[in-house]
Amino acid sequence: MKSIEDINKKIAAKTAVVLTASELKKRIRAGETITPEDVDVVTCGTFGIMSGTAAVIAFQAAEPGAFRHATSMTLNGVPTHLGPCPNESNGHVDAMVYGTAASSRTGYGGGHLFADLVEKKSVEAVIETDAGTITKTITIDEMSSARMIVTRGAFKNYMAFVNPSESEITTIFSVTPMQGNMNEATFSGCGEINPLENDPTLRFHTPGTGALVNGAPGIILGTGTRSSAAKPNLSLAADMKNMDPNLMGGFRMPTACECLTSVATAIPVTDDAALAALSILDENISLPVAAVTNRTAFDAATYADAWNGDARVRVDPKKCTTPECNRCRDLCPREAIREDLSITKSCMGCLTCVKVCPAGAYSANGGTLHTSTGEIKIILRQSDRVRGELAARTLRDRIRSGSWRFGGV
């Protein structure tokens, strides 16, 4: 056995062997025999829709005495929840903003706002007070505090959703109406690189443990809401001023906007049990299949079905025969398609453009669920393995540099 102290000493000396989950599993698939002596730390990551994300922000809205109480506030049209501090007569406001809050601006929500703030863009604050309306622009650098809290993140077990009814259904789990008769599926989760798939008993994911939230140093507060032994998840907190906008954002849906969040954690390889848990592969991770009408699982596939395809979408603009249809741009949840149909770095490979383009200008093997009831084509991914791996690499590099260790960040 190795102790945490032993591993921390190696990290400080920059001699620790640190791998991402993907790097470790590649060696396992290659048939390499790996022991706890061969690796000291494995970093894991996940990125996708995490509805339980919120931010607590605070800033000076006006000179002291300009108003007594603020009664409501929006940021870029996103409603906030003022308080809990009343801040009577001091001109300061503090508020909580939900990542799923919808703005008065179409296709914009809390997740978009968070990314804009982290990108140091100016946002418009409209504050209603007992003395009248205050409108001002504000940046994150002008805020006295901006902290993100994830109340339910990095679920170990997500579900894939299908529509077993005969009629199509509009749902938060699909950008377009979900076709009936189980003809298509959507899913979430990064499979074998997810932190809790690699530590299912939360042996190393304990309150006070360091983690990266959207690339920023943070801590695990404990388990999140709706966490259970079978389906654990985490609650975390981190300072938004240190986050990476590429590891977060908003995701447009038919009736609302969702919040995209990333989490990366490090697992010390102290013994055989830790390494055994880290050796889990996609093909051995169950992906329950549930009816979207009641969210009750009735079958199962695996994350190998979900992630054996293409992580990103290819585009051939020459195939577009009706540029005026614009369905790809109008329906892209990430607004990642330019006028010339090329794809920006905002893309997370969700597959929406592949489904909606009538000419097949966009293509990708998005995977097929193999269930006891038949094969079901995946038409929407609400997680991004590419960014999940980026989150894991970001933490790996910090550990290799000696700037992160167990027991503190």
Give tens-digit pLDDT for 254-291.
Answer: 778 999 999 999 999 999 999 999 999 999 999 999 99
Residue 84 lies in a domain: yes
Q: Is the peptide bond before 84 cis (omega within 30 degrees of 0)?
A: yes
Spatial separation of the C-alpha atoms in residues 19 and 382, rounded to whole Å = 26
Give tens-digit pLDDT for 224-265.
Answer: 999 999 999 999 999 999 999 999 999 998 778 999 999 999
Cβ neighbours for 370, distance < 8 A, ≥ 6 positions apart: 301, 302, 305
Spatial separation of the C-alpha atoms in residues 98 and 111, rounded to whole Å = 8
Residue 252 lies in a domain: no
Residue 167 lies in a domain: no
CATH number, domain of 354, equals: 3.30.70.20
Phi, psi of 140 (to 5 degrees): -65, -30
Asked which of 149, 174, 192 is the last residue of a domain, the reply is 149
Q: Which two tokens stand for residue 219?
A: 């801590």
Residue 56 lies in a domain: yes
Asked which of 126, 149, 172 is the last residue of a domain, the reply is 149
Residue 121 lies in a domain: yes
Spatial separation of the C-alpha atoms in residues 395 and 393, rounded to whole Å = 5
Spatial separation of the C-alpha atoms in residues 405 and 162, rounded to whole Å = 42
Local structure of 279: helix, strand or coil? coil
Beta bridge partners, 150, equal 53, 236
Beta bridge partners, 235, equal 222
Q: How many domains does the chain have?
A: 2
Asked which of 124, 149, 174 is the last residue of a domain, the reply is 149
Helix-then-strand count for the chain, H and E: 8, 23
Residue 162 lies in a domain: no
Comparing CA positions, the residue from 245, 253, 219, 63 lying closest to residue 149 is: 219
DSSP 282-320: GGGSEEEEEETTTTEEEEEEEHHHHHSS-SS-EE-GGG-
**367 contacts 189 by C-beta, under 8 angstroms:** no
Residue 344 lies in a domain: yes
Instruction: Print the domain residue range for 342.
Output: 310-364
Beta bridge partners, 408, equal 405
Local structure of 328: helix, strand or coil? helix
Cβ neighbours for 211, distance < 8 A, ≥ 6 positions apart: 218, 219, 220, 234, 236, 238, 263, 264, 265
Spatial separation of the C-alpha atoms in residues 364 and 355, rounded to whole Å = 10
Comparing CA positions, the residue from 312, 404, 286, 310 lying closest to residue 43 is: 404
Cβ neighbours for 330, distance < 8 A, ≥ 6 positions apart: none
Query: Hey, how many other C-beta atoms are within 10 angstroms of the C-beta on 141?
Result: 9
Tens digits of pLDDT across the chain (409 residues): 899 999 999 999 999 999 999 999 999 999 999 999 999 999 999 999 999 999 999 999 999 999 999 999 999 999 999 999 889 999 999 999 999 999 999 899 999 999 999 999 999 999 999 999 999 999 999 999 999 999 999 999 899 999 999 999 998 888 899 999 999 999 999 999 999 999 999 999 999 999 999 999 999 999 999 999 999 999 999 999 999 999 999 999 877 899 999 999 999 999 999 999 999 999 999 999 999 999 999 999 999 999 999 999 999 999 998 888 999 999 999 999 999 999 999 999 999 999 999 999 999 999 999 999 899 999 999 999 999 999 999 999 999 999 999 985 5
Residue 19 lies in a domain: no
Query: Hey, how many other C-beta atoms are within 10 angstroms of the C-beta on 286?
Result: 11
**192 contacts 303 by C-beta, under 8 angstroms:** yes
CA atoms within 13 A on the CB side of 63: 1
